[in-house]
Structure 1
Amino acid sequence: MTIQHVLFDADGVLQEIPGGWYAAMEPYAGDMARDLLHKTWKEELPSLAGRGDYLPLLAATLAEYGVSAAVEVVYADVWHRIDRNDESFAIVDALRRNGYGVHLGTNQERYRGAHMRTTMGYDGLFDVSCYSYHLGVAKPDPAFFVEAARRIGAEPSSILFVDDSAANVDGARSAGLIAEQWELAQGHDVLRALLARHGLNASAPAL
């Protein structure tokens, strides 16, 4: 089946944390930043699927590591420290102008997801947005992609999924989507070539 839709991951594909997660947390946790983040990311997993409240868990972990700053301050400074990649979004815009459906498929708990949807304006940039906390299931579970295809209203085989995680790509393929692994560090010429191999025109249309 001809690909008619592209489903993009967010972190590492469309956006990034300037300097990376560890550097963002270092002002609060110093050389314990890496350990703190890995611990709290494990605790975050249920909330990615919409179960439970992440902030109290994060607050407890911050206290355990001796971070005195309020959880709301740390969360806003670290989790909301997001840079949109202009070149990625130029490709999103070009694909839409060329007639393809362009969608977002991302693992987020509800606070960061809400920030992306409203403050960053993502709801207006995609035809369908699939946030894991809202779907009730997180990548790489194939059920995430089955539900995403249902919401897009398309056959899975007509959707190309792009993600920086090999596990997520495998999950998408298990659900019948076409899927490719790509990350920002590879450069956008690689992404454009990848899209072209699947018959997709990611060049801006002539005015």
Structure 2
Amino acid sequence: MSVRHVLLDADGVVQHGVRDPFGLLRRWAGDRAEDLGRALWAAERGPLRGEGDFLEAVHRVVPSYADVDPRELYASLWGDITLSEATLALIDRLRAAGLGVHLGTNQHRQRGEHMRTTLGFDRLFDVSCYSWELGTKKPETDYFEIALERIGAPGHEVLFVDDMEANVEAARAAGLRAEHWHLDRGHDLLRELLAGHGVEVD
């Protein structure tokens, strides 16, 4: 059966986030940077499923570790997004070839809404599967089952591309085709991976 849909992760596939988050945290928290980072990422787990407000959590967590405006820290760590022009061009070619192109990403509400509106993701993708809206996140099986329902296709018709191997393995276990790829590996390799599933793009 042929692939009719491509489901793309955001960070590491469509966009770059902050390249050195701990370098930024060290500016504010010094030798407590790693502790602050762990506390922030732990606080994000619930909001990634739509449980609680992450920005409120940032305001609670940061003062215990650093003397910095939590809004500045949030904007620097989660608001710094650079879209990959090469991936955007590839998306255009996939859609021109008649494939559905969809977004499969773990995001809390504020960052996801920024991507959706300011960055124009609602225009870029046919179906968007943000974890905070689905109430589950990658690599949980429920995430992929809901994504397939939203796309309206069986797993063997959907090719998922993600920069985390655990997510790729979970997608395969849920019945999707899946490939592990990161922007740093180059788009020539991505085109080869797509071609391996019968998806040819110029």
Q: 1:81 to 1:180 in 2, by over 3 A?
A: same
Report the counterpart of residue 16 of structure 1 in structure 2: 16
Q: Matches of 1:156 and 1:52 in 2, distance apart?
A: 31
- Count of aligned residue pairs for this structure pair: 202
Alpha-carbon offset, residue 18 of structure 1: 4.5
> Do residues 87 (structure 1) and 71 (structure 2) align?
no
> Do residues 33 (structure 1) and 33 (structure 2) align?
yes
Alpha-carbon offset, residue 19 of structure 1: 3.0
AA aligned opposite 1:55? L
Alpha-carbon offset, residue 77 of structure 1: 2.4
Alignment RMSD, CA only?
A: 1.4
Report the counterpart of residue 102 of structure 2 in structure 1: 103
Alpha-carbon offset, residue 75 of structure 1: 1.2
TM-score (norm 1): 0.92
* Deviations, residues 19-39 of structure 1 (Å, cap 9, x unaligned): 332234343334433331222
Q: What is the percent sequence identity of the aligned residues?
A: 48
AA aligned opposite 2:147? A
TM-score (norm 2): 0.95
Report the counterpart of residue 154 of structure 1 in structure 2: 153
Q: 1:39 to 1:196 in 2, by over 3 A?
A: same
Q: Matches of 1:107 and 1:18 in 2, distance apart?
A: 16
* Contact 2:8–2:162, Cα closer than 8 Å, also in 1: yes
Q: Matches of 2:25 and 2:116 in 1, distance apart?
A: 23
Alpha-carbon offset, residue 60 of structure 1: 1.9
Report the counterpart of residue 49 of structure 2 in structure 1: 49
* Deviations, residues 176-207 of structure 1 (Å, cap 9, x unaligned): 1001110111111110100011100222xxxx
AA aligned opposite 2:166? A
Q: Matches of 2:119 and 2:16 in 1, distance apart?
A: 13
SS of the residue aligned with 1:114?
helix
